[in-house]
Structures are given as structure tokens and as C-alpha cells.
Amino acid sequence: MSEPDKDLLRKALSRAVALLTGTDRLIVAEVAADGITTFEIHHDEHGTPRARRRFDSWEDLAMAPVPDHTAGRDAVLRTVAATASSGDLAEVVLVRSTTESLPAGQALSWLGEAYSAVVYSAGAPVAALVKEAIRNDPLTRSYDLVVLRPDPASGRLELAGKQLFPVGTRPGTRSDVMIRCAPGDAYGTAFAVVTRRGREPHLLSVSSARLTPGTYTVTAELVHAGKVRFIGLPGLVEDPRGWAELIGSVPSRLPPRTGPAHLICAVEVCGPEEKVAERLGRAHQVIAFLSAEFGDRLQVSLIAYGAHSFDHSAPEHPVEVTTWRGTPDHALDGLRLLEERGAITRGFPYHPHAAQLEDMLATVVRRLHRDGPTLDGLDRHRPTPTVLLTVGDRQPHPARADRSGVLPCPRRHDWQTLLGQLGSRPGAVFGAIWDQPQHRAREAHPIWRYLGTSALAHLDALDVRELTVDLGLAAPVVSRIPFPLIDDTE
């Protein structure tokens, strides 16, 4: 095919494809030395041009070895008409790929007369040009990303579309959209592209990625009509679900949003190094998890407590407040320092069976009293929840000598009185992670039943979400959010 002929045919095909509307059919008939190849081009349900190819040899059309002027003419005209068996025939484009074939010349004469079509010359197959015309065709319908728009007051979810590409968009165009991802379903978050005929959406494509909850700026690229590629989404794979299954997985509303809270995490740092490391690791898990759930609505205090020394020659390590009402990141920084330091009190002369639990409670009572009451930013009549999460297993020192044989607290702190003061504080919640396995819970000192009033977990079998749900710090996962969220009001 010479370059001028190729350019003329390319322009003719592009114009003819662009003029297709509704159920119209465009027929491109390539007449060659061995027969006729027809391409029937139409729009699918998304307005995307599609081509269906058919080949008939001259023998099939009663044109070889010598054209049959009656049967051959009917067969040649019929093969073009049959290609456009449904819909309206918008246009026929004739292409001559040979000048030396008697059947080809005769067939072109009949087709030109029947359809009043321009005959374009070509010296090579035109399949590549047909494909090029289809791929370069601008959009005849807009492409939307399926999103969920939550109602700010009720959390009710509305299925909506965020426009990626309007009508007339050409291949190669990119569009940026900012979305928010909540915890997804088994497939992750679905990035579904739809077109619309009237008000009804039609699913064009869907792919999913397991993404960390958060805000993302996603770039969509129109590769060609019928294909959208998302850039900047790690792990994106094709999703096998259909439209009905996708929308059937959408919950009616978002899980209730947790309000502000103050988490006080008290960790026992006496005992074997590996045990202390495990306690600090569990505290790290809880704070990191809640940081993702709450963001800047969570205040965290971190307290380390060890064992009393009853030998005046040995230093007493007092209760240590590494962070008070700080951000989760500040608390995590404090935890890392404690992890590097390891156990601070172990062995003689420190008490082997009890810890400064009563001193820790006294510190918490004193600090909270100094702070005064704080109110929930979402409900000015409700106090901000204050959650004391204690991680350890030793018993406290009594205020005075008793039958336990444990030496009294040097400062005469009474753990029962202090727990009563904390429990009477509005919004107070108690949770604990106890070292021992669940089957030994009955052997625990009574203080651990008090400290674990709302949730008593075990160091060797901790479900962080279950623990934080029981403490009222995280919403139960009753449903997952399959589509991206968008918070604008468009």
C-alpha cells in the first residue's frame, strides 16, 4: 500500500467509524486476489466500536475459476448484506487489494453499483488500519469510576459515579481522582468503570487491589475506547465479579465512626527479658492498630512500671510516664526506647512476685485529676472515654501487711481504693492483657479481674481488633466497603 493510498484509507475509516451512531453498521469490504474479507463495525453496549471479520473465497462465491454472472453477483452482494444482518447499514467502504484478478474486478463493479461506494486502492491487507481506526476513535459515552458517597450525618452510603473521561476523550488522555479507601472485602477495593445508557450503568471493567485504608490520588489512563488503566495502585488484578455481585456487596452505611479517646497503656517491665519484650510488642500492636483507626482523634499515654526494692542499697525504679496525652507516634517512639532498654527490674533485691501496680494506679489517678474532665468533641454532653489497658501478670503490693505474705507498698498505696476512684470517673474503661493462658484465669489475683472488666485478653492469644472493639475503641467490622469512598458534594 503506497503512503498516499494508506493515508486516504486511514482518514476514510476514521471518519466512517466516528460517524457511527446507535445500532448502525459500517461495512469495510476488502476485495483481494483470493476472495472478499468483510469487517462489520458496530458499537457495543458501552458505545465502543467493535469489528467482526468474515472471509469468503471466490470459490465460495461462485466466482472461480470463471465468474458466474447470476449466482456470483447474488453471492457477492449477499455476503456484504449478511455481514450487516442486524441494525442499519450506515456505510460501505470498498478497498481494492489487487488489480489483476478477474473475479475481484467483477465483484468491485457489482458492489460499487449496489452501494454507490467509493473504492479505495490498497496494496496490502487493511486489517491493521481497521484496528487502528477503532482504537483511535474518541469516546461516544462518558466513563465513570464507581464510588460510594457517605452521608456526613447518617453514614448512609450512596452509589455514585466519579467522571473519569467525558464524551469525546481521545486515547492517551489521563485523569486524576482523589479517593479514600476503607477496609475492603475479600477482593480488596474494586475499581469499576461504567458507562451509562440513560440512567442505567453498564460495567465496562473491574479490577481490585488490597490497599491499606487511607487517601489515594489515582491516575486513570484511557488506553483506547473500551480499556482504562489505573496507575499508582499496587497489586491491582482483574476482578471476576459481575455488576450484580458487586453492588450486592455494598453495605447500607459506614460503620459508626469512633470518637476521640484517651488510651493509657501501662506495661509491666520486670521479669525475664523475653517476657518483657513480648508485653511491649503487644502494646505496640494495639497502639499501631488504633492509630490507623483513630488518626489524630486518639491521645495515648504510656507508663512503665517494675518491681519494688526493699533494700536501701538498691535503687528504686519509680513508675515511669514516658508519654502523657501524646500522639500515637509519640507513644510508639516511647515504646521503642523501652524495647531497646529491656527489663529494668529483675532478681534480688527486687520483689519476685509483685509489681508496682498500686503505684501505677496512683500515678494515673493523680495525672487524670490534674487534667480535669475532658469532653467528647462530637458530643459535648459526653466525657471522652479514658481507657486503662494494663499489660503484665504480677499482683500488687497491699497497703498493709496481710495473709498473702507480699510486703506492703512502701508508699502505702491501696490498689482497691485507687481502682474505685478510677472506676467512678465518667468514661472510664478497663482492659488488660494478662501473661498467663486463658485456662489459668481463675488463678489470677483479683486485681486482674478488675483491670480486665471490659476486656481481659491473654498474651499468647491476642486478637487486637476483638480487644479494641470490647474496649469501645474500634467499631466492629460488620461489613466491608467494596468501592472507593469520595467525600465531595458533586
Domain ranges of the chain: 3-135, 143-248, 261-470
Give yes or no for a contact between 291 and 329, defined as CB atoms under 8 angstroms apart.
yes
Q: Could you tell me the pTM of the whole model?
A: 0.58
Beta strands in 236-297 (DSSP E): 237-238, 261-268
Mean pLDDT of all residues in 43-51 = 91
Please check the confidence at residue 377 and state whether its pLDDT lies above 70. no
User: pLDDT digits over 149-162, tens only?
Assistant: 988 766 788 999 99
Please check the confidence at residue 370 and state whether its pLDDT lies above 70. yes
Q: What percent of the chain has pLDDT over 70?
A: 92
Residue 158: phi, psi to the nearest 5?
Answer: -110, 130
Mean pLDDT of all residues in 355-378 = 85
Please check the confidence at residue 1 and state whether its pLDDT lies above 50. no
Mean pLDDT of all residues in 33-60 = 91
User: pLDDT digits over 398-421, tens only?
Assistant: 999 888 889 999 999 999 999 999
**CATH 3.40.50.410 matches 261-470:** yes
What is the CATH code of the structural domain delimited by 3-135? 3.30.420
Please check the confidence at residue 393 and state whether its pLDDT lies above 50. yes
Give me the pLDDT at residue 379, please.
45
Give yes or no for a contact between 256 and 155, defined as CB atoms under 8 angstroms apart.
yes
Please check the confidence at residue 84 and state whether its pLDDT lies above 90. no
CA-nearest of 272, 354, 343 to 309 is 354
| 488 C-beta neighbours (distance < 10 Å), count | 9
Q: Helix crossing, 102-115 with 71-83: angle to 10°?
A: 60
Residue 331: phi, psi to the nearest 5?
Answer: -65, -40
Give me the pLDDT at residue 86, please.
59
Between these two residues, 143 and 403, which has the higher pLDDT value? 143
Give me the pLDDT at residue 378, please.
45
Tell whether omega for the bond before 150 is within 30 degrees of 0, i.e. cis: no
| Highest mean predicted confidence (pLDDT) among 121-125, 342-346, 462-466 | 462-466
Q: Is there a common fold for 3-135 and 261-470?
A: no
| 439 C-beta neighbours (distance < 10 Å), count | 8
Please check the confidence at residue 430 and state whether its pLDDT lies above 60. yes
Apex 451 CA angle, 299 and 473, nearest 5? 35
Q: What percent of the chain has pLDDT over 90?
A: 53
